[in-house]
Amino acid sequence: MILIVDSGSTKSDWIAVDNNGNQLLEKMRTKGLNPAILSEKKLHKIIKGNKDLKNNREVVSHVFFYGAGCGTEKPKALLKSVLEEIFVNAHIEVNEDTMAAVYSTINHDKEAAVVCIMGTGSNCSYYNGKVLEQRVNSLGYSIMDDASGNYYGRQLIRDYYFNHMPEDVKIAFGSKFNMESDYIKYNLYKQPNPNAYLANFAEFMFLHKDSEYTINLIKKGIRLFATNMIMQFKEELKTVPVHFAGSIAFFSQTEIKEVAEEMGFKVGNFERRPIEGLVSFHTKSL
């Protein structure tokens, strides 16, 4: 049994297949497994909390894990160690989530492209058809992650409290979420995964895209992301497309294309959930 995992900070999607890519179990979902923000104990608890994973752990031959927080060696090694302790007979590979975005969006395995992730967090890399290059090291959600779910959640909460929302949008926002200050601070400063908590607010934008305020908010984040991340690859952008993975990107396609026209880069493919493309990639290479 081969397990392929696409993990963000909010959720992890698991798929179990055989060597020919045939699905063996129902798709599974656990909480996000970001080793940069979760302890070893918490990572164990989340994985073992899934009955199918626990019951089949000894028959797993390979685990291909792609996740947020796996771009640097220390958290990557932590997660690999946890997976090796659980899936005792398996070959384990842990890669940053950007590689899942690459393999699921490029048109063929040697295509060069700039590949962006916009989900709970955000990132951008250049893939030359062989290796991945990043020119900005991520400092996490509190400083970077423009145009991500947690970025938009933070902006929405700020606009609500600073009275920058139109009144009708503010009423709708306040009726959907608990906006008591003590409740928000508790989730931000005393609960795990504050980035995932913030990202939960982002869905509101896509349910209220009839508002000029919302459209402007989405495009402001995309412009920041493009300026700070995509434009790091100015020379490459002359000849390669920019692909996007993640739910925020998927639901912001119109706005991304408008910003791309403003800033002069070519938009390629959009993939909401990269995991399906990973099955084909890995079963071909076994």
**What are the tens digits of pLDDT across the range 254-268?**
999 999 999 999 999
pLDDT digits (tens, 9 = 90+) for 3-39: 999 998 788 999 999 988 899 999 999 999 999 989 9
Residue 248 has pLDDT above 90, yes or no: yes
pLDDT score, position 212: 96
- Percent of residues, the chain, with pLDDT higher than 70: 99
Residue range 175-186: mean pLDDT, rounded: 98
pLDDT score, position 32: 93
Average pLDDT, the chain: 94
Q: How far is C-alpha 8 from the geometric centre of its chain's CA atoms?
A: 5
| Helical segments of the chain, H only | 40-48, 51-55, 73-86, 97-105, 149-161, 167-176, 181-189, 194-199, 203-207, 212-228, 247-251, 253-263, 275-285
- DSSP-derived 3-state class of residue 111: coil
pLDDT digits (tens, 9 = 90+) for 150-173: 999 999 999 999 999 999 999 999
Look up residue 242 and give its DSSP letter: E
Decide: 9 and 196 in contact? Cβ < 8 Å. Answer: yes
Least confident of 18-22, 23-27, 137-141, 145-149: 137-141
Residue 54 has pLDDT above 80, yes or no: yes
Residue 52 has pLDDT above 70, yes or no: yes
pLDDT score, position 2: 96
pLDDT score, position 286: 66
Domains, the chain, ordered by start: 2-100+274-285 (3.30.420.40)
Q: What is the pTM of this model?
A: 0.80
Residue 281 has pLDDT above 80, yes or no: no
Residue 285 has pLDDT above 70, yes or no: no
